[in-house]
A and B are shown apart, each in its own frame.
Chain A
Amino acid sequence: MPVSAKSAAARPRVGLFVTCLVDLFRPSVGFAAVRLLEQAGCEVDVPARQTCCGQPAYNSGDRASARALARQTVAAFEAHDYVVAPSGSCAGMLRLHYPELLASDPAWRERAAAFAGKVHELVSFLVDVRGLAAVAARLPARATYHDSCSGLRELGVRDQPRKLLRTVEGLELVELADADVCCGFGGTFSVKYPDISNAIVERKTEQVAASKADLLLAGDLGCLMNMAGKLSRQGRRIAVRHVAEVLAGELADPPIGEGRP
Chain B
Amino acid sequence: MSAVTSPAFRDNARAALGDRQLQRALAEVPRGLAARRSAARADLPEFEALREAGRAIKDHTLAHLDLYLEAFEKKARAAGSQVHFAPTAEDARAIVRDICRQAGARVVTKGKSMISEEIGLNQALEADGIEVVETDLGEYLIQIRGETPSHIIAPAIHLTQDQVEADFRRLHTGLPADRQLAEPAQLVAEARQVLRGRFLAADVGITGANFMIAETGSTVIVTNEGNGDLTQSLPRVHVVLASIEKMVPTLEDVDTLIRLLARSATGQEISTYTTFSTGPRRAGDPDGPEACHIVILDNGRSELLGGPFREVLRCIRCGACMNHCPVYGAIGGHAYGWVYPGPIGSVLTPALIGVRQARHLPNASTFCGRCEEVCPMKIPLPGLMRHWREAEFDARATPLLYRLGLAAWAAAARRPRLYHALARLLMPALGALGRRRGAFRRLPLLGGWTRHRDLAAPQGRTFQALWADTRAGVPR
Residues of chain B lying within 8 A (CB to CB) of residue A203: 326, 329-330
**Of A22, A200, A259, which one neighbours B437 at CB under 8 angstroms?**
A259
With A197-B366, A259-B434 given, name 4 new contacts (CB 8 A).
A52-B409, A60-B393, A194-B449, A259-B457
Given contacts A27-B462, A63-B390, A194-B451, contact A228 B366 (CB under 8 A): no
Residues of chain B lying within 8 A (CB to CB) of residue A174: none
23 contacts between A and B (CB under 8 A): A18-B464, A20-B413, A24-B423, A24-B427, A27-B461, A51-B420, A52-B409, A56-B410, A59-B386, A62-B410, A65-B406, A181-B326, A182-B368, A193-B363, A194-B448, A199-B330, A229-B439, A229-B453, A229-B454, A233-B441, A259-B434, A259-B438, A260-B436
Given contacts A149-B367, A233-B454, A257-B439, contact A193 B461 (CB under 8 A): no
The interface on chain B, measured as residues whose beta carbon lies within 8 A of the other chain's beta carbons, has a size of 68
Residues of chain B lying within 8 A (CB to CB) of residue A63: 390, 393
Q: Looking at chain B's contact residues, is the secondary structure mostly helix, strand, loop, or mixed?
A: helix
Given contacts A30-B463, A150-B369, contact A51 B412 (CB under 8 A): yes
B402 touches A60 (CB 8 A): yes
Residues of chain A lying within 8 A (CB to CB) of residue B466: 27, 31
Instruction: Find the A residue at minimum CB distance from B388.
Output: A61
B439 touches A259 (CB 8 A): yes
Q: What's the nearest-Cβ distance from chain B to residue A99, in Å?
A: 14
Given contacts A61-B398, A195-B14, A258-B438, contact A182 B390 (CB under 8 A): no
Q: What's the nearest-Cβ distance from chain A to residue B289, in Å?
A: 46
A143 at the interface (CB under 8 A from B): no
Given contacts A59-B386, A62-B393, A192-B448, contact A50 B456 (CB under 8 A): no
Within 399-441 of B, Cβ neighbours of A (below 8 Å) are at 402, 406-407, 409-410, 412-414, 416, 419-420, 423, 427, 434-439, 441
A169 at the interface (CB under 8 A from B): no
Complex Cα spacing A133 to B369, Å = 29
Instruction: Find the A residue at minimum CB distance from B455.
Output: A229
B454 touches A26 (CB 8 A): no
**Number of residue pairs A-B, CB distance < 8 angstroms:** 216
Complex Cα spacing A33 to B419, Å = 22
B2 at the interface (CB under 8 A from A): no
Complex Cα spacing A232 to B440, Å = 10
**Of B329, B389, B406, B454, which one neighbours A232 at CB under 8 angstroms?**
B454
Within 203-235 of A, Cβ neighbours of B (below 8 Å) are at 203, 225-226, 228-230, 232-233
A149 touches B368 (CB 8 A): yes
B476 at the interface (CB under 8 A from A): yes
Complex Cα spacing A25 to B366, Å = 22
Complex Cα spacing A258 to B370, Å = 32
Within 445-476 of B, Cβ neighbours of A (below 8 Å) are at 446, 448-449, 451-459, 461-464, 466-468, 476
A69 at the interface (CB under 8 A from B): yes
Complex Cα spacing A187 to B407, Å = 16
Interface flags for A50-74 (1: CB within 8 Å of B; 0: not) read 1110101111111101001100100
B364 at the interface (CB under 8 A from A): yes
Q: Report A's interface with B, CB cutoff 8 A.
A: 18, 20, 22-28, 30-31, 46, 48-52, 54, 56-63, 65, 68-69, 72, 149-150, 153-154, 180-182, 184-201, 203, 225-226, 228-230, 232-233, 253-254, 256-260
**Of A46, A182, A229, A232, which one neighbours B464 at CB under 8 angstroms?**
A46
A201 touches B369 (CB 8 A): no
Residues of chain B lying within 8 A (CB to CB) of residue A198: 451-453
Complex Cα spacing A184 to B364, Å = 11
Given contacts A61-B390, A196-B17, contact A25 B410 (CB under 8 A): no
Given contacts A61-B390, A233-B452, A254-B438, contact A186 B368 (CB under 8 A): yes
Complex Cα spacing A64 to B456, Å = 31
Q: What's the nearest-Cβ distance from chain A to residue B314, in Å?
A: 20
Complex Cα spacing A27 to B331, Å = 36
Given contacts A193-B13, A232-B439, contact A225 B427 (CB under 8 A): no
Instruction: Find the A residue at minimum CB distance from B387.
Output: A61
Residues of chain B lying within 8 A (CB to CB) of residue A20: 413
Residues of chain A lying within 8 A (CB to CB) of residue B438: 254, 257-260
Instruction: Find the A residue at minimum CB distance from B415.
Output: A51
Complex Cα spacing A30 to B466, Å = 10
Instruction: Find the A residue at minimum CB distance from B360.
Output: A193
Q: What's the nearest-Cβ distance from chain A to residue B9, in Å?
A: 9
A191 touches B448 (CB 8 A): yes
**Of A24, A182, A257, which one neighbours B326 at CB under 8 angstroms?**
A182
B416 touches A68 (CB 8 A): no
A230 touches B373 (CB 8 A): no
A186 touches B366 (CB 8 A): yes
Q: What's the nearest-Cβ distance from chain B to residue A256, in Å?
A: 5
Complex Cα spacing A229 to B363, Å = 23
Q: What's the nearest-Cβ distance from chain B to residue A222, in Å?
A: 10
A182 touches B366 (CB 8 A): yes
Q: What's the nearest-Cβ distance from chain A to residue B50, in Å?
A: 20
